[in-house]
Amino acid sequence: MDLSNINFPTDLVFLWIAAITVGAAVLVCLLPNIIHSAVSLLFALGGVAGLYLFLSADFLAATQMLVYIGGIMMLLLFAVFLSNRIQDVKLSNPARFQLPAAVLCILLFGVLSLVAVTTPFPVKETKYLPTTATIGELLMTRYLLPFEIASVLLLAALIGAAMISRPTRKNPALDQEDGK
Amino acid sequence: MMTLQAFLIISAALFCCGLYTVMTRQNGVAVLMGVELILNAANINFVAFAHYLSHVMGGQIFAIFIIVIAAAESAVALAIFLRLYANTGSVEIDTADRLKG
């Protein structure tokens, strides 16, 4: 990366968003309290939405904000609050194998960064265009089958999640039948 | 500054943080947070390659499908964790060994 030709406001915003994203992701894996981890994950996902804007993916950034921050984060917080005894919240996020995992992850990060920096990618000239109309058209024409499969998958996941998380109901009629 | 390499390095950092979370955490919900980080790293790669190397929309559409599948996966996983908590009193993944022979 060449530090001499910094395009000032754009690159400053980009660096700021990248720092928020990576810093929040590091905090997710290091914080001992799981609620702090969840809030940190919120900032990491929001930073990823900001990075999408720099990649001319405006619809994807909006989808990221709606689905991840509005939906998945709320689900995670629900699960944290419903599944952890609130009095031992300090001990809610125990960790193990920290040293070998840290060594492995740092080595993997080094290898991935090295490959990313040294590979000569055939980069084309970039352009920033609105994408929502194109994505909608493609979803209805070329990617129609994956779109329908995804909708069926969402329906199945909805029904399955509701069935699994429903409390088991004591059915006296079935109990009598079992007794016979 | 805003090069393809910068996005790839950010994505690699997110992936490694997610991998570390998945490997070290014992709480199932925290493991799920790590999986979300890994999926986001893959999404950044898809969109960055689509933006810098080709000007077709396929990368962004794949990212949308990944978001959809992540939503479905986290909903089902959290339902399973709630059942696990109701049955065993904790969501630590080591306690879910009832199927072990």
Q: What tens digit of pLDDT does each residue of A4-14 get? A: 566 778 888 99
pLDDT tens per residue across span A66-81? 999 888 888 888 888 8
In-domain check, residue A35:
yes
Identify the closest residue of chain B to A40 by CA–CA distance.
B33
Asked if A86 reaches chain B (Cβ–Cβ under 8 Å), the answer is no
C-alpha angle A166/A172/A173, rounded to 5°? 105
For the entire predicted model, the pTM comes to 0.87
* Res A85: pLDDT: 63
For residues A4 and B31, the model is more confident at B31
Q: Could you state, in order of their start, the residue ranges of all structural domains in chain B? A: 4-93
Q: Is the pLDDT of residue A180 over 50?
A: no
* Residue located via tokens 């014992």: B26
The reported pLDDT for the residue numbered B55 is 78
Query: What phi, psi does B18 have (nearest 5°)?
Result: -65, -40
Residues of B in contact with A79 (CB under 8 A): 29, 32, 78, 81-82, 91
Contact B20 A135 (CB under 8 A): no
Residue of higher predicted confidence among A2 and A26: A26
Say if CB B17 and CB A28 are below 8 A apart.
Answer: yes
Cβ contact, residue pair B17, A26, below 8 Å = yes
Could A146 and B17 be called an inter-chain contact, meaning their C-beta atoms sit closer than 8 Å? no
Q: What is the mean pLDDT of chain B?
A: 89
Does residue A180 lie in a domain region?
no
State the complex-level ipTM: 0.90
Q: Which residues of B touch A11 (CB under 8 A)?
A: 1-2
* Domain that includes residue A11, residue range: 1-85+99-129
Probe site for chain A from B38, B60, B69, B85 (most A CB atoms < 10 A) = B60
Question: Does residue A68 share a domain with residue A142?
Answer: no
Buried b (16+ CB within 10 A) or exposed e, A106-127: eeebeebbeebeeeeeeeeeee
Label residue A122 left, alpha or beta by phi (over 0 means left) and psi (-120 to 50 means alpha): beta
Assigned CATH for B4-93: 1.10.287.3510
